């Protein structure tokens, strides 16, 4: 694969916070048209990895490329190519979803208003209600809409489904998979929910002690003979080995 077409690649990336090494010569690749589950124990560096990919942090060593671009040196281009969903809405609580979408629209090269309206209707999202009055599920829906509207090459989702009730979680997962189906977009989903990982991922990346301990397709990592119902159980043991 041409490196410029690869949504995310990291080579020998190290990131420290004072004396603590969070990522230690980490290398990984997220190919196009894939959904990768990013797994690992607390403190493994999942959120740090995503902030590096967004260009919000600089690596202490190593190289990072988003669609062949440096996320620090070419920050504007990269942020236009990446959709990001944090674990909680990182917006002012006095804003409404409609105001958020209006604020974001001019910051992107592409903004699909039709997609925004279609998803907002599907989610029954109250676009004129302030975030402080939205439920956790409604806030998550608004952030997913905002992340998908610029039609990004790469989606970064940092524990987006944690704390959601099962009905809302299913709705978001189904919508995400439908939007990604048949395209070249890639998604990297950090999650502690092994049921979510088993349902959406076609690739798995496991972090341990700042490095990738295991990566590959679900079939390669867990065994192609596994039935879908057993995948969360196998992922649990994979995480136990990484802890």
- Which residue range(s) make up the domain with 70? 3-242
The single-letter DSSP state of residue 226 is -
Asked if 242 contacts 44 with a C-beta cutoff of 8 angstroms, the reply is: yes
Report the CATH number that the domain containing residue 85 is assigned in CATH: 3.40.50.300
For the chain, the residue count is 243
| Total count of domains within the chain | 1
What is the Cα–Cα distance from 187 to 180, expressed in whole angstroms? 8
- Residues sharing a CB contact under 8 Å with residue 2, sequence separation 6 or more, in sequence order: 68
CA-based nearest residue to 123, from 92, 97, 154: 97
- Residues sharing a CB contact under 8 Å with residue 81, sequence separation 6 or more, in sequence order: 66, 67, 69, 152, 153, 154
State both tokens at 74. 């070419």
Per-run averaged pLDDT (10 residues), the chain, 243 residues: 74 95 96 92 90 96 96 94 90 96 95 96 97 95 96 93 87 90 89 81 90 86 58 60 59
């Amino acid at each position: 694969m041409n490196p410029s077409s690869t949504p995310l690649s990291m080579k020998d990336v190290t990131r420290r916070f004072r004396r603590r090494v969070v990522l230690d010569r980490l290398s990984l690749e997220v190919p196009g048209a894939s959904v990768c589950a990013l797994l690992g124990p607390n403190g493994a560096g999942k959120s740090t990895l995503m902030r590096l990919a967004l260009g919000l942090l600089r690596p202490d060593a190593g190289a990072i490329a988003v669609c062949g671009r440096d996320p620090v040196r070419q920050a504007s281009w990269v942020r236009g190519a990446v959709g990001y969903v944090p674990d909680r809405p990182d917006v002012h609580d006095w804003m409404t979803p409609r105001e958020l979408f209006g604020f974001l629209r001019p910051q992107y090269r592409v903004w699909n208003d039709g997609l925004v309206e279609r998803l907002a209707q599907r989610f029954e999202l109250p676009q004129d209600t302030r975030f402080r009055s939205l439920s956790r599920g409604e806030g998550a829906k608004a952030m997913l809409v905002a992340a998908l509207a610029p039609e990004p090459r790469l989606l970064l989702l940092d524990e987006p489904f944690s704390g959601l009730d099962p009905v809302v979680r299913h709705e978001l997962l189904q919508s995400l998979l439908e939007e990604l189906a048949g395209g070249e977009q890639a998604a990297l989903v950090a999650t502690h929910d092994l049921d979510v990982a088993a349902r959406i991922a076609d690739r798995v990346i496991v972090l341990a002690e700042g490095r990738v301990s295991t990566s590959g397709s679900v079939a390669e990592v867990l065994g192609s003979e596994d039935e879908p119902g057993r995948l969360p159980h196998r992922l649990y043991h994979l995480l136990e080995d990484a802890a």
